[in-house]
A and B are shown apart, each in its own frame.
Chain A
Amino acid sequence: MTDIITVEATDLTRIYGGREAVSHVSFSLKKGEVLGFLGPNGAGKSTTMKMLTGNLAPSTGTVKICGIDMLENPKEAKALIGFLPEQPPLYRELTVNEFLTIAARLHRVSRGHIKAAVERAKERCGLTEMGKRLIENLSKGYQQRVGIAQAIIHNPMVVILDEPTVGLDPIQIRDIRALIKELGGEHSVILSTHILPEVEMVCDHVQIIHKGQLVFNGSIDVLKQQRKGNRLLLGLGQAPAQEQLLQIPGVERIESLDNGLLRIHHTAGQSPAQRLVEASVAGQWGMYQISPDQTTLEEVFVQLTFQEAA
């Protein structure tokens, strides 16, 4: 992947009536990356996104889109962005085609390409059949798709989506996630969401924002690593004495859980799974389950946001 930096936010702060809604957020995003924005309600996700798109002026700090400063050259910077706010901005009295044509025109798509751009955006968002329908009469899910179509119609360098999968049914959510992954190939995408597995599925980078501050900023792999831990869950029919288990190389500590399972803490990097299975067969312990014990992303999330509160 090329190393062009598409979004660069430095020290973004936004003060609302003396309270810092977003404080000193800095990050950068490279071309082709998908960045997930996580955080509880009111954490400042939407505020940050509004600042990135020039809808809100930051109290301090700068935003640069492909090196163009949002505050100094707002027109040029905005031309490189496609934005879907929390509430999709739709003119309900227009049809999908009319609305997307206006969106294309306002985003400087050249006259000859407008038709093709509208068709392509509709196709990408699964709206081909809906072109002549009034936006007013579309279901929430389809309205959301029109919102996304509007954001990608001019093939922007950066696509910013604020909770794009809200209100969609599971199949649509899958389609939209696939679309976001596809977009990630040629554009940079920033999306915010509450749904944690979504982040894991589509994002390369994750940022967790809490009370206006960035509490985690890194690759999704780091987060995944954090959730794996060095633990195994073991279910045995006739469990031997714990000492016997502790003798198996790699096993460090054993916890008995309420549901009859054992949680084995092992040395990082050397899972004793194979040896445990062999020992179980030899000693007839009646093993019925062995699996890695993962903390859910939720726990990591709660941990990170909770630490900050404490």
Chain B
Amino acid sequence: MIINIARKELKSLFASPMGWVVLALLQFVFGTFFLIGMDQYFQTMSGMIRPEERLGVTQFVGQNVFSIASFVMLFAVPLLSMRLISDERRQQTLTFLFSAPLSLTDIVVGKFLGLVGFLSIVLLFMGAMLMSLGLWSEIDYGYILANILGLWLLVASFSALGIYVSSLTHQPVVAGIITFVLLFALLILDRFFAGDPSSTINYLSLMRHFEAFSRGLLDTRDLVYFFLFIVTFLTLTVRRLDADRLRG
């Protein structure tokens, strides 16, 4: 059942130009940064003579692409997530889902998976693009996979928050803007408290947890953080929809 909701969401995304345009634009941006990265690599490395100054091509190009990816997703995810529930509410199609033999969890998780599925396509292309470096040189696959996993968890967390905000309002645009502001705040949270590295608030920053992955490091604490983040917001969304049923 969850899978059917996810399929419905994907179908809706690709039934309008929205899905295709976002997919194309994201690929264009990542492709451009990939090319620039390659270009710069040859320029920079030709100047480095001593071996210890040299940086692997995977890390050099990868950093270029992944750092822009987390930034671009900050804009892309709210654009995609804002419609998920608010638009259904505005078009009064939520009744359709509520009347079907589905639990609220099915609906919310299905929608979440639909969006994450779409974003996975984006990440898949990005991964394939970076792996194509392997055709000409030896690359660090582990580094790429860790980054992709980190990015995937990051956008999944963005999506979970986006869905929750979308469930709060009837207006997709309002949902989009609020999601963006919240995500932005969460990302740069650690900048505000940079003076106190042990601060708990610091620990809430999404970017801080993403950084470990971007160094190619898999830390279970970060995995758990993202997992809890996603579960929390999906649960809140279910509760919000349940309130619709109870309060009308």
Contact = CB atoms under 8 A, between A and B. Distances in A.
B32 interface: no
A-B interface, 9 closest residue pairs, ranked by CB to CB distance from nearest: A89-B96, A79-B101, A89-B93, A83-B99, A106-B100, A78-B101, A87-B92, A75-B101, A85-B95
B12 A85 contact: no
Nearest to A81: B99
Interface of A: 14, 16, 47, 50, 53-57, 74-76, 78-79, 81-83, 85, 87, 89-94, 98, 102-103, 105-108, 150
B95 A55 contact: yes
A98 B11 contact: yes
Contacts of B246: 57
A94 B11 contact: yes
Interface of B: 1, 4-5, 7-8, 11-12, 15-16, 91-103, 245-246, 248
Nearest to B98: A55
Contact of A85 (B4, B11, B92): B92
Secondary structure call for the B interface: helix
B245 A57 contact: yes
A93 B15 contact: yes
Nearest to B17: A93
A75 B95 contact: no
Contacts of B5: 106
A158 B93 CA distance: 20
Contacts of A94: 11-12, 15
Nearest to B93: A89
A302 B12 CA distance: 46
A106 B245 contact: no
A97 B248 CA distance: 31
B96 A103 contact: yes
Given A55-B95, A83-B95, A102 B101 contact: no
Given A90-B93, A102-B11, A55 B101 contact: no
